């Protein structure tokens, strides 16, 4: 991966001042911003979590955080895509547009996306999930761990609920017997 520094000359005022400012732009070859954010449908919360994680990694790798806040905000709003931009335009902020931070915008999207979780639906999907024919146990377990994250179960209950779901949903009778013999 190669980082390229590009310097761009900009006048300091509209009167054509002789002393130019230096603007450093950092680009990293092969690193693209995250795909547009999809906030409609049942997976809005999960889509948001993935987008946020990718955005934070992208901002670190490309050194976006070193840029002026106005640049960071513009890049984030460009990256979220049309659908999320329309949602953003409906958010109510206490700060004016030109003083807004990426942190405020991320918090607003977080509230919007996470607040839209239908817990009953998420638990329904989790509880209906059974191991598919030919599906490796590790893939099944990974899927269950992903699904349970949006079920809003108490932290102390998650492991026992996950264990119970594995016992009920696993296809291998020997694994079921083994898990049923364990004492917890």
Domain locations along the chain: 43-116, 119-180
The Cα 124–Cα 122 span in angstroms is 5
Phi-psi region of 85 (alpha: psi -120 to 50; beta: other; left: phi over 0): alpha
Phi, psi (deg, nearest 5) at residue 6 = -120, 130
Burial class of residue 172 (count of CB atoms within 10 Å of its CB; 0-12, 13-18, 19+):
exposed
The confidence band for 12, taking pLDDT boundaries of 50, 70 and 90, is very low
Dump pLDDT digits (tens) for 66-103.
999 999 999 999 999 999 999 999 999 988 888 899 99
**Per-residue pLDDT, 166:** 92
pTM of the model: 0.57
Burial call 35-68: b when 16+ CB within 10 Å, e when fewer? ebbbbeeeebbbbbbebbebbeebbeebebeebe
Q: pLDDT tens digits for 128-164?
A: 999 999 999 999 999 999 899 888 899 899 999 999 9
């Amino acid at each position: 991966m190669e980082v390229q520094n590009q310097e761009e000359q900009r006048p300091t005022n509209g009167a054509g001042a002789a002393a130019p400012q230096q603007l450093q732009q950092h680009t990293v070859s092969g690193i693209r911003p995250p795909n547009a954010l999809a906030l409609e449908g049942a997976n809005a919360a999960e889509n948001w979590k993935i987008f946020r994680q990718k955005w934070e990694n992208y901002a670190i790798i490309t050194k976006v955080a070193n840029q002026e806040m106005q640049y960071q905000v513009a890049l984030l709003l460009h990256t979220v895509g049309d659908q999320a931009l329309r949602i953003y335009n409906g958010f109510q902020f206490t700060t004016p547009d030109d003083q807004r931070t990426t942190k405020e915008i991320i918090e607003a999207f977080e509230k919007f996306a996470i607040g839209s979780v239908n817990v009953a639906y998420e638990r329904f999907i989790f509880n209906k999930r059974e191991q598919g024919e030919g599906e490796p146990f590790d893939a099944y377990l990974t899927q269950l761990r992903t699904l349970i994250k949006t079920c809003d179960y108490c932290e102390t209950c998650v492991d026992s609920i996950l264990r119970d779901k594995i016992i009920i949903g696993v296809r291998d009778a020997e694994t079921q017997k083994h898990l049923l013999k364990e004492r917890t």
